[in-house]
């Protein structure tokens, strides 16, 4: 939660947090973009992380931790002819 803000800001945040995930993501993107250079360093750093992870996946070095349970289940299903 945000501390040290006025009641209006808290109300806006509460309303935003009730929105579906994709709408919250769009708002977060727009807010970060509005920061201009202040967000540039973080944005560039995340871009580097995303590129590195994508390169690892495409090169077969990693499938990402989120994919491992899915891939294990998929292998079992394929072995069982599902």
Q: Read off the pTM.
A: 0.42
Length of the chain (residues): 82
Same domain for 80 and 58: yes
Give the number of C-alpha atoms closer than 13 A to the C-alpha of residue 45, restricted to the C-beta side: 6
**Domain containing 64: what range?**
39-82
Query: Does 28 lie in the same domain as 48?
Result: no
> Could you tell me the end-to-end alpha-carbon distance of the chain, in angstroms, rounded to an integer?
45
Predicted confidence at residue 18, as pLDDT, reads: 92
Residue 29 and residue 54 in one domain:
no
| 82/44 same-domain check | yes
Alpha helical stretches, state H, 18-67: 21-34, 37-58
pLDDT one-digit tens code per residue, 29-52: 888 777 766 555 666 777 777 778
**pLDDT interval class at 21 (50, 70, 90):** confident
What pLDDT, on a 0 to 100 scale, did the predictor assign at position 42? 67
Instruction: Tell me the pLDDT of the chain averaged across its residues.
Output: 78
51 plus 82 within the same structural domain? yes
Residues whose CB falls within 8 Å of the CB of residue 18, separated by 6 or more in sequence, listed in order: none
């Amino acid at each position: 939660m945000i501390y040290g803000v006025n009641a209006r800001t808290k109300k806006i945040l509460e309303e935003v947090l009730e929105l579906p995930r994709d709408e919250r993501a769009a708002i977060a993107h727009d807010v970060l973009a509005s920061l201009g250079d202040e967000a540039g360093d973080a944005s560039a750093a995340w871009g580097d992380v995303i590129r590195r992870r994508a390169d690892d996946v495409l090169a077969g070095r990693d499938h990402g931790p989120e994919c491992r349970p899915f891939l294990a289940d998929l292998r079992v299903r394929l072995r069982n002819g599902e």
